[in-house]
């Protein structure tokens, strides 16, 4: 592989005009496609294989024309102090509002609160239910404006009016902190390279890669039903890995220049060595993201595949466009250690005098911070290992209190009208009113469907935690009925989850007696089913993703223990990150700093999504750092010295890459979408734990304790595995080997 990538890098360097033209053309094509594509349509949240989804599909079949997936709105009215909603003036205002809402072209129905028992017992709160023909994302702006205008007219009449439901669903915004994250990345690159030109290359290529990825997602959004969250996540991950991959290749290029190589040869060697690490690191990320398909939730699968596509583009750009841009930059990108005038300092020996050999420049290497830290770790490996494991273990303790759920209006900030409507309904009708359960009774298999409907209703009334049960509402054929159940607990509570299971158990008894099937659906039941499905899929997903990546790393490192150590270290970092997420989003710690206005259950897809993304990113640092150690080891250094050498060449760059990735992820904490905010924080803290505790401390400590055993591989497996030559041994000249080439090829497999 190293030889192929070496040739690719040199080709891109020589044919820089052609390479740059191709990428600019792809960016233009994707941009035109995004601009001309129709807006994204319905992005319905379907969960195949769950009871809630089965009931939802049955409703669409047996109750045609009712727009089961249509948007809903609850316009909640509160009377002024000392008045009631039943007063003549307030009633007239509400009825006028209902009439105004019913005039909308996309409105399917509006329920008058005075005709549907939608006034609280104390008479102070009432609500009107609005049903639309299309989903919230498909509603025209004029329809949303009409809803807000009707609510405002009622406010002008003296009532308190708030609007809940998904009719006012807005496209999530990331906020200004995203730009701050990119700015921090730019500062880190300038400090790392000491040059605006060198620092600008990773940023430029990352933005082009993300631009192509996000524009392609936008162009395909309507055809593939991709939500706005998909493009935001692709942008988040694509920016982070795009900058990092380019950073590693540029850094290796500068190191090759410092060894006295010509620029074209230096580019080829940088792509052949660091580029090999980029390929395998990118593969682990792609495997982790595409592996989300195991969960069998279409929305999650689409998010993973879209983000994986953006990562693949980032890898290709790093391997081709970076060499091309280095060709344009010429001498403005200096060798490692030679700082530009920007930082006002330089290090002797970086630029070799005429006639000085590469070996002469290394006679007295200056020990950098990475070298000093690695030397300390190999002297005290057990103490560093215990400290790192205990620290991450302590951070992971809150994860034992993890509560999962999906966000609803109750998790919105109190500044939103959706949240205020949620609170008014809870005050007037009880906490469970915001999460009604819809029970669907399929009576086709019953001798008397009406008797079956009544039996189900009576069984539910006798259950604990039920406030109200509406009479069965059969369809025209009389073979299916719906029953609405109001719990006495809020939608995201454990008590509501227990009630859903109790209704399903009671339905099983009814089916045994009557033959009618009972199904529970609605947003609350759907959320419960999603959480359970994600929990059930977590172990198979871990086995698949970690197993495939483990096999890949065996090929890269030609070792059993190094990939095993990498996987165990990842589990430590992801558990610690989940603990931090619980502390911030569930317990409310540092809520002012992170902008978390409301605490509550952690989003149910967060653990499995974090496992996938963090595993891929964790393997990035493992590959980049340990391949330099492997390279030093196969070139003849002793195990402990190889660890120090790996840190000498890689620690500074890995540190910069981790800080950049943390800054990019943290930039999305300012998003208005709670899922994006939580994922941004979770990924940022996970990168911190993995890069600075696991890879910088635990990894060298374990390698120091293992010694030569770290690189052990059974002979039969050694012969069976392909030699991918990540270390770039095939690029070394006979003079550099200083021995027989055949013997050196054998050394690669030791």
Look at residues 564, 542, 524, 549 and name the one whose alpha carbon lies nearest to residue 702: 564
Whether 363 shows a pLDDT value over 70: the answer reads no
Which residue's entry shows tokens 């963090």?
Answer: 614
Torsions phi, psi of 133, nearest 5? -80, -20
Q: Is 438 or 277 the better-scoring residue by pLDDT?
A: 438
For the chain, the 3-state helix, strand and coil shares in percent, each to the nearest 5, are 65, 5, 25
- Distance from CA of residue 294 to its chain's centroid? 16
> How many percent of the chain have pLDDT more than 90?
19
- pLDDT band of residue 25 (cuts 50, 70, 90) is very high
* Predicted confidence (pLDDT) at residue 93 exceeds the cutoff of 80: yes
Instruction: State how beta strands 404-405 and 437-442 pair.
Output: unpaired
Long-range contacts at 465-473 (CB < 8 A, ≥ 24 apart) = 465/489, 465/495, 465/496, 465/498, 465/499, 465/502, 466/499, 467/430, 467/432, 467/433, 472/441
What's 225-257 look like in SS3? CCCHHHHHHHHHHHHHHHHHHHHHHHHHHHHHH
**H helical segments located in 635-673:** 639-666
Q: Please, which pLDDT band fits residue 537 given cuts at 50, 70 and 90?
A: confident
Q: Is the pLDDT of residue 468 over 50?
A: yes
Backbone φ, ψ for residue 563 (5° rounding): -65, -35
> Which pLDDT score, from 0 to 100, does residue 77 have?
93
pLDDT band at 173 (very low <50, low <70, confident <90, very high): low
Q: Residue 331: its pLDDT value, please?
A: 85
pLDDT at 715: 86
Using the CB atoms, write b or e for 350-370: b if 16+ within 10 Å. Answer: bbbeeeeeeeebeeeeeebeb
- For residue 125, the model assigns a pLDDT of 93
pTM higher than 0.75: yes
Q: H or E segment at 394? A: helix 381-396
- Contact between 323 and 272 under an 8 Å Cβ cutoff? The reply is no
Q: Let me know the angle formed at the C-alpha of 295 by 291 and 298, rounded to the nearest 5 degrees.
A: 95
User: According to the model, what pLDDT value does residue 334 have?
Assistant: 83
220 CB-near residues (< 8 Å, 6+ apart): 37, 226
| Statement: residue 511 has pLDDT above 80 | yes
Spatial separation of the C-alpha atoms in residues 106 and 111, rounded to whole Å: 15
pLDDT in tens, 127-146: 888 888 876 666 788 888 88
Which among 221, 417, 195, 431 is positioned nearest to 326, based on CA atoms? 195
Task: Write the CB contacts of 740 (distance below 8 Å, at least 6 apart in sequence).
Answer: none
DSSP 23-71: HHHHHHHHHHHHHHSPPP-------TT-HHHHHHHHHHHHSTTS-TT--
Q: How does residue 393 score in pLDDT terms, banded at 50, 70 and 90?
A: very high
Whole-number pLDDT of residue 744: 42
Helices (H), 63-140: 88-102
- What pLDDT is stored for residue 745 in this prediction? 42
pLDDT score recorded for residue 595: 67
Q: pLDDT per residue over 625-661, tens digit each?
A: 887 788 788 777 888 898 888 888 778 888 888 888 8
Better-scored residue on pLDDT, 600 or 202 = 202
pLDDT single digits (tens) 194-242: 778 888 888 899 899 999 988 998 888 777 777 667 887 888 888 888 8
Considering only residues 681 and 339, tell me which one the structure prediction assigns the higher pLDDT. 681
Among 54-68, 525-539, 572-586, the range of highest mean pLDDT: 572-586
**Cβ-based neighbours of 37, under 8 Å, separated by 6 or more:** 218, 219, 220, 221, 222
CA 21 vs CA 4, 24, 69, 74: distances in Å: 22, 5, 45, 53
As a whole number, mean pLDDT of residues 5-30 equals: 92
Instruction: Output the six-digit token pair for 268.
Output: 């080829």
Q: How confident is the model at residue 748 (pLDDT cuts 50, 70, 90)?
A: very low
Residue 749 has pLDDT above 50, yes or no: no
With H, G, I as helix, E, B as strand and everything else as coil, classify residue 357: coil
* Torsion angles phi and psi, residue 324, rounded to 5: -65, -45
Q: What is the pLDDT of residue 80?
A: 92
Q: How many CB atoms lie within 10 A of CB 539?
A: 9
pLDDT of residue 750 exceeding 60, the answer is no
What's the pLDDT band for 152 if we cut at 50, 70, 90? very high
User: Does the pLDDT at position 313 exceed 90?
Assistant: yes
| Predicted local confidence at residue 739, as pLDDT | 45
């Amino acid at each position: 592989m190293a030889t192929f990538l070496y040739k690719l890098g040199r080709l891109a360097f020589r044919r820089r005009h052609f390479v740059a033209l191709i990428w600019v053309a792809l960016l233009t094509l994707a941009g035109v496609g995004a601009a001309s594509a129709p807006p994204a349509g319905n992005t319905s949240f379907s969960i195949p294989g769950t009871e809630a989804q089965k009931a939802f599909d049955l409703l669409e079949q047996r109750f045609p024309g009712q727009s089961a997936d249509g948007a809903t709105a609850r316009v909640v009215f509160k009377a002024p102090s000392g008045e009631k909603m039943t007063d003549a003036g307030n009633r007239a205002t509400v009825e006028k509002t209902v009439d105004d809402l019913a005039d909308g072209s996309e409105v399917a129905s509006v329920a008058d609160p005075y005709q549907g028992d939608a006034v609280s017992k104390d008479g102070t709160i009432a609500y009107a239910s609005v049903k639309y023909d299309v989903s919230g994302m498909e509603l025209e702006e004029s329809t949303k404006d009409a809803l807000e205008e009707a609510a405002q007219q009622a406010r002008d009449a003296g009532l308190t009016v708030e609007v809940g439901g998904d009719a006012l669903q807005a496209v999530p915004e990331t906020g200004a902190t995203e730009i701050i994250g990119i700015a921090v990345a730019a500062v880190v690159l300038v400090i790392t390279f000491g040059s605006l030109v060198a620092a600008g290359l990773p940023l430029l290529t990352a933005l082009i890669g993300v631009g192509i990825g996000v524009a392609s997602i936008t162009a395909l959004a309507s055809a593939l039903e991709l939500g706005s969250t998909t493009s935001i996540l692709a942008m988040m991950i694509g920016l982070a890995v795009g900058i990092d991959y380019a950073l590693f290749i540029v850094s290796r290029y500068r190191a090759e220049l410092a060894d006295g190589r010509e620029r074209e040869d230096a580019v080829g060697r940088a792509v052949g060595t660091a580029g090999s690490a980029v390929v395998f690191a990118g593969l682990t990320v792609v495997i982790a993201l595409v592996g989300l398909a195991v969960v069998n939730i279409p929305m999650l699968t689409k998010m993973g595949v879209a983000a994986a596509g953006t990562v693949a583009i980032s890898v290709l750009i790093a391997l081709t466009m970076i060499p091309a841009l280095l060709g344009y930059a010429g001498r403005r990108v200096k060798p490692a250690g030679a700082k530009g005038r920007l930082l006002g300092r330089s290090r002797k020996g970086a630029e070799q005098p005429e006639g000085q050999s590469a070996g002469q420049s290394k006679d007295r290497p200056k020990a950098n911070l990475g070298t000093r830290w690695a030397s300390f770790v190999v002297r005290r490996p057990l103490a560093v290992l215990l400290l790192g494991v205990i620290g991450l273990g302590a951070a992971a303790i809150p994860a034992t209190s993890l509560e999962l759920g999906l966000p609803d209006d109750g998790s919105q900030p109190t500044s939103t009208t959706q949240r205020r409507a949620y609170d008014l309904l809870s005050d007037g009708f009880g906490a469970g009113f915001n999460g009604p359960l819809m029970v669907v009774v399929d009576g086709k298999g019953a001798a008397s469907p009406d008797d079956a409907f009544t039996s189900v209703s009576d069984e539910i009334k006798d259950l604990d935690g039920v406030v109200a049960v509406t009479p069965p509402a059969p369809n025209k054929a009389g073979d299916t009925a719906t029953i609405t159940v109001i719990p006495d607990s809020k939608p995201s509570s454990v008590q509501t989850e227990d009630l859903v299971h109790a209704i399903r158990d009671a339905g099983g008894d009814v089916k045994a007696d009557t033959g009618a099937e009972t199904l529970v659906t609605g947003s609350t039941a759907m959320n419960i089913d999603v959480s359970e499905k994600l929990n059930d899929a977590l172990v198979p997903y871990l086995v698949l993703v970690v197993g495939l990546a483990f096999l890949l790393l065996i090929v890269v490192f030609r070792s059993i223990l190094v990939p095993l150590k990498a996987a165990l270290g990842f589990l430590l970092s992801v558990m610690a990150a989940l603990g931090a997420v619980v502390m911030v989003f569930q317990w409310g710690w540092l809520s002012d700093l992170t902008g978390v206005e409301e605490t509550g259950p952690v989003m149910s897809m967060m653990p499995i999504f974090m496992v996938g993304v963090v595993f891929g990113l964790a393997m990035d640092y493992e590959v980049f750092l340990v391949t330099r150690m492997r390279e030093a080891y196969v070139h003849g250094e002793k195990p402990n010295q190889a660890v120090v050498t790996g840190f000498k060449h890689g620690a500074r760059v890995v540190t910069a890459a981790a800080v950049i990735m943390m800054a990019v992820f943290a930039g999305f904490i300012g998003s208005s979408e709670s899922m994006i905010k939580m994922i941004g924080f979770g990924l940022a803290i996970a990168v911190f734990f993995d890069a600075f505790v696991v890879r910088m401390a635990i990894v060298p400590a374990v390698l120091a304790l293992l010694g030569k055993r770290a690189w052990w591989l059974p002979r039969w497996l050694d012969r069976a595995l392909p030699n991918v030559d990540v270390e770039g041994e095939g690029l070394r000249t006979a003079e550099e080997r200083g021995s027989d080439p055949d013997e050196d090829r054998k050394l690669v497999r030791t």
